[in-house]
Structure 1
Amino acid sequence: MHRRDLLKAALTLPLLPWALSPTVARAWEAGPAVAGLRSRVRPGDAGWPTSTQWNQLKDAVGGRLQALHSPFEACSAQNAACQEALAQIKNPYYLGDQPALTQTSGWADAWTSHPSAYAVAAETTQDVVAAVNFARRHHLRLVVKGGGHSYQGTSAAPDSLLIWTRHMNAVSLHDAFVPQGGEGREAPVPAVSVQSGAMWIDAYNAVTTRGGRYVQGGGCTTVGVAGLVQSGGFGSFSKNFGSASGNLLEAEVVTADGKVRVVNQHQDPELFWGIKGGGGGSLGVVTRLTLRTHDLPDTFGAVFGAIKADSDEAYRALLAFTMRFYRDALFNPHWGEQIQFRGNNIVKLSMVFQGLSQQQAEQVWTPYLAAVRARHDWHIQDDVKVLALPARHFWDADFFRAHFPDAIVPDRREGAPREHMVWAGDEGQVGQFIHGYRSGWLPQSLLDERQLDRLSNAMFDASRRWGFSLHFNKGLAGAPADAIARSRDTAMNPGAMDAFALMITGGESDPAFPGMPGAEPNLDKARKDKAAIDRCADALLGVAPGAGSYVSESDYFEGDWQASFWGANYPRLATAKRRYDPDGLFFVRHGVGSEGWSEDGFTRLRQNA
């Protein structure tokens, strides 16, 4: 039996009292009694709140309750909202400002972007408390949206109440932060507090561009801070600084009982541990996070280019050579991001580095480029460029406007903050309709000389099916010991600590929001693409049996998601869920405790409820 199958057998349905694991069954029975709620209510059901009750909620949140409708509803040339949406469809800042839209428009045979029925546009923690209490009292399906970047469609749901935290985006720096309850027990550290609606560009602008320090966050500037931390949180430089969740010091959380809890390693430590990589929206609504900040390196930089092989055999050799070069020269805290491998026999370099000068980075790559030039059947397809810049300017939109304008796409709407930009390479994801997606962590043992040819052969076989990339910053093997230790003390799958990279393969097409003119996705092509994507992933992961998957970047159809996303940590997460949300108010498909509910989160499946 494969390791993954063993984990699946051990962890499947851990919240159900008839699960095979006696330990998990006892943990379930030890919890408080479960209410008799069999299903949540929808519009038109007898229990759906009356207009008077909705108005009471509206009053409680200062008028910030709104009924949601997609701008593509009844779309026409005369509909100004629809025309604006069409004009801004590739602007992630616009999409994030629309509570009725999502950053991804859907996934073939999985989900389609449909707005919630109502949204509380929260501006304070008390707004969140009012929404949580209202949803609990009226048995509503509750959804939480900050950045809204969920590939899985978890930031919206038809017939639900949405807690939308976009306007809770304050960022404040601390020279010497001590978590509550840690006074006299912990040394103060520099930190940053970020409200849950902030995007990473907001945090980077405050911490790095203006503050001259570093906070570990996401690579995409429009990702929400809270969502990334709760899912684990990898960024371009995680190989040095660890995961975002590993750098969390404290959080403010509204739990299912409507209580506001300040959690850290001293107060509600199991809830604190659970939100560090346990997945967003399953244990409570995070309203504020405080993260450790670090000394800023002198430089950040990037290496871009592409190498092409003239034949399949030459490409097979190029893959083996590239992976040996990675192991010997790049498998260390200085390097992150990715190399892409394609069926046209191209290796595309998209690497970043920290703490090296441009000259030092160029010296690292000199042997690689010399070897490429020495072979008649390898060629430099796109010039390999090494660029370094002062680290303080890495997220400085004005600096890029002046020096590298083609590298960024700013939010061009009138009145948009000048710092709001997205990397040009990320623009293709905006509004995407996903055809298929897979990921898996590759253990560092595959870089051993006895295993490396096996790895490169599997990579070649995978590239014949579909393109894929290795994201080296999303595997923490090779990171400093303290960064690994902080990241290990999270709910994320422990396999990430021993992985040298996260393999990602996927495919998508243009935005296809329901009602959007001319946006019917080609489902036949999407299904063919998915089959090829699956063959690619299966070919590569054949050398990594039991490899876990990163919850934020994973297959919607993951069959053994408990083991894949959280591994041996899942029973502990399930216990935290049982303690802090015994009635299952917070539901996320393939989130902690979701086994007890139908796919849409409306009907309880567990017996004896």
Structure 2
Amino acid sequence: MKRRDCLKAGLALPLLPLVQKAAAGNSTGSRNALSRARPGAAGWPSASEWDLLSNAVGGRLSIPVSPFLGDAGTRAEALAQIQNPFFIGDQPGLTQTSGYHGAWLSRPSARVVAAANSADVAAAVDFARRHRLRLVVKGGGHSYHGTSCAPDSLLVWTRAMNAVELHDAFVAQGAPAGTAAQPAVSLGAGAMWIDAYDAVTTRGGRYVQGGGCTSVGVTGLVTGGGFGSFSKGFGTAAANLLEAEVVTADGRVRVVNATQDPELFWALKGGCAGSFGVVTRITLRTHVLPATFGGVSMKVRADSDESFQALAAEVLRFCRDALCTPQWGEQLRFDSHRTFGASMVFQGLSQEQAAAVWAPFEAWVAARPQYTVIDPLQALALPAQHMWDADFFRKHAPTLIADDTRAGAPATHMLWKGDQGQVGWYLHGYASAWMPSALLGDAQRDAAAAAICTAAAHMPVELHCNKGLFGAPADALAASRDTATHPAVLDAFALALIGNAGGPVYAGSGGTVDEANAREGAARVGRSYAALRAVLPRAPTYVSECDFYQRDWQQSFWGPHYPRLLAAKRRYDPDGLFVIHHGVGSEDWSADGFERRS
């Protein structure tokens, strides 16, 4: 911890007499702790106690309010920016997803600490622990499961902690003598991936493995074991974690890595930080930047169910033979109109080389009259340093991006146009499953194609090839193996995703839940997922993109790693201060995180 943070932490000392008195009557030191306090109920902090916390964090304590419930001017601005993820992320009372049908709705916390440093976070954690408060942490706020919001809670909001620092020769704290230094980047918990890519790639000329959506927070994606478009080449984001600064339930600011608190460090690599502490800074290795990044697109329609299934089988064969390499990532899509669409990205290839890879598939389609090419194959490449260069896209391909349109917004802040539909969406249903490489083989490929086509008749099925590491290089596989993510990812050629959603339903925004439509959407997702499971009876799934109601979630998310994760949870958070939906140890708590079950 930096010296100024140590001094800042000292400001929290006046809290101790009151919070110790409040804690004396509660068994917070045992696994049988009482339920958490709610506003207006016994144990809720008094105004003077909240004032002490406010003083300890430099006045950065407030009551979060949705801008959609503000005065006329505030509401009008919010409505104008409702599809701007950067605006939504700047509101402590909002989350990027506005809810999940039957599960949760985006609602503000009772109080928020807008943390400026790790000392602010430590003060908030101490306060929550001693007063038995429900604690919530938000960086980017993109959780589909609502893990960054909860009514009646204290929110630790890390948005302002967004510093980015490049290292030419990073060595983890406490590393053994002789440890080789390596290029890296350190990112504050509030940074988004566009901040990382601008510093590392656009200005720094290197690559960091992050997320595909530019407005996603770096910490949540890394600690959730997340993926980016080029993960087949560089491994998961968690596999690239070198060090993290984290505030644990005891209020300590720890710097963890492979040497210091190695079990906590390992748990943060895919075990979801929200179950173990508040991550305030992460350091990731950076890589040599490929010469090019690019994309390939194509859309084909089949004239019958039989020909659609034959097309799906050929896509899987082509995927095995040509796309399961470090160069390729992103999506193959099948829908109810018997249509297949490719929206793939590549790295390290020229436009001509990329087109040549797809030429055999293009020829296979052209030779068969039962297929109609709706969108011909198109391949485009660009210098890799411009991949997240907003000015480059504004000049050369403005229709592919959307800007943060607010006055004074950073010129670097842009998102891919295709991601804008996720801003504020209300999920009706969502499901995912890792697709093992065996499904690409001759023995199982036809069955897999039939399951995909049957599933697509209910809801579109997307195969995200970058979210499975089959075909990745040995070093990326080794680093990804040393994470808490379910080991099924190592052999998966793709993650199958099925989802349905409606528009924003934030209170005061004018959007409302269409119950009939939501129920039907959820049912269609269920039918589609059930069809896919015909070839995936025990399919593991990705914790950050899955069904809110996932059955057997401990095994589905982490498989053989769960006992080790639970042991780390018991060690670093024995009283369960940090609770997220279907997070490690959450089986000890009620669904809302307020009542202890055991």
Separation (CA, whole Å) in 2 of partners of 1:59 and 1:495 = 48
Is 1:96–2:89 an aligned residue pair?
yes
**Candidates 35, 47, 50, aligned match of 2:46:** 50
Instruction: Spell out the pairing of 1:440-455 with structure 2 (5 A cutoff).
Output: 440-455=433-448
CA distances 1:71-93 after superposition (whole Å, capped 9, x unpaired): 223x6xx6222111111100000
TM-score (norm 2): 0.94
SS of equivalent to 2:418: helix
Deviations 1:538-558, CA, capped at 9 Å, x for gaps: 111221221111000010001
Give yes or no for the alignment of 1:169 onto 2:156: no
Instruction: Give me the whole-angstrom Cα distance separating, in 1, the residues matched to 2:419 and 2:377.
Output: 20
Does the aligned pair in 1 maintain the 2:32–2:596 contact within 8 Å?
no
- Residue by residue over 1:448-478, the C-alpha shift from the partner in whole angstroms, topping out at 9 and shown as x without a partner, is 1111111111111111121110001000111
Instruction: Show the counterpart of 1:28.
Output: none
Equivalent residue in structure 1 for 2:62, among 43, 59, 66: 66
TM-score by length of 1: 0.93
* Local SS of the residue matching 2:435: strand
Name structure 1 gaps, 5 residues minimum.
1-31
For 1:54 and 1:374, the matched residues in 2 are separated by: 72
- What is the Cα deviation at residue 35 of structure 1? 5.0
Take 1:382 and 1:550, find their aligned partners in 2: how far apart are those partners? 31
SS state at 1:41 partner:
coil
Residue identity opposite 2:576 in structure 1 = G
CA distance in 2, matches of 1:350, 1:56: 53
Which of 317, 321, 328 is residue 328 of structure 1 equivalent to? 321
Between the aligned partners of 2:109 and 2:496, the Cα distance in structure 1 is 33
Alignment-derived partner of residue 34 in structure 2: 38
Measured in 2, the distance between the counterparts of 1:301 and 1:353 equals 5
Maintained 8 Å contact 1:252/1:289: yes
SS in 1 for 2:316: helix
Match of 1:266 in 2: 259
1:535 aligns with 2:527: yes
User: Match of 1:597?
Assistant: 589
Note the 1:171-210 alignment, pairs <5 A: 171-210=164-203
Match of 1:412 among 402, 405, 413: 405
Question: For the residues of structure 2 that align with 1:332 and 1:191, how far apart are their CA atoms?
Answer: 25
Partner residue of 1:297 out of 290, 294, 297? 290
- Distance apart, 1:366 and its partner CA: 1.1
- Any runs of at least 4 consecutive aligned residues in structure 1 with deviations exceeding 6 A, and if so which? none
Per-residue CA deviations over 1:337-371 (Å, capped at 9, x if unaligned) read 01111010111111000011111001111111122
Equivalent-residue separation in structure 2 for 1:552 and 1:405 (angstroms): 30
Shift in Å at residue 435 of structure 1? 0.6
Same amino acid, percent of matched pairs:
60
How far has the Cα of 1:585 moved from its partner? 0.6
Letter in structure 2 aligned against 1:148: G
Structure 2 gaps of 5+ residues are 1-27
RMSD over aligned CA atoms reads 1.1
Corresponding residue SS for 2:68: coil
- Give the Å deviation of 1:33: 6.9
Contact in 2 for aligned 1:112/1:514 (Cα 8 Å): no
Cα deviation 1:110-157 (Å, max 9, x = unaligned): 111111011100111101011001101111000000000000011110
Shift of 1:68: 1.2
Give the distance between the partners of 2:349 and 2:485, measured in 1 at CA: 30
Identify the match of residue 429 of structure 1 among 416, 422, 425.
Answer: 422
1 CA distance for matches of 2:406 and 2:170? Answer: 37
Q: Does 1:136 align with 2:143?
A: no
Q: Distance in 1 between matches of 2:514 and 2:273?
A: 31
SS, match of residue 304 in structure 1: strand
Equivalent-residue separation in structure 1 for 2:122 and 2:414 (angstroms): 32
Determine which of 300, 313, 330 is the counterpart of 1:307.
300
Q: Deviations over 1:213-232 (max 9, x none)?
A: 00000000000000001100
Question: For the residues of structure 2 that align with 1:33 and 1:59, how far apart are their CA atoms?
Answer: 26
Contact 1:397 1:421 in 2 (8 A): yes
Corresponding position of 2:574: 582
Residue pairs, 1:365-380, within 5 angstroms: 365-380=358-373
**AA in 1 matched with 2:64:** L
Alignment partner of 2:518 out of 508, 513, 526: 526
Q: 1:33 to 1:129 in 2, by over 3 A?
A: closer
**CA offset at residue 177 of structure 1?**
0.7
Distance 2:235 2:165 in 1: 22
SS of alignment partner, residue 47 of structure 1: coil
The amino acid across from 1:265 in the alignment is: A
Q: Which amino acid aligns with 1:480?
A: P
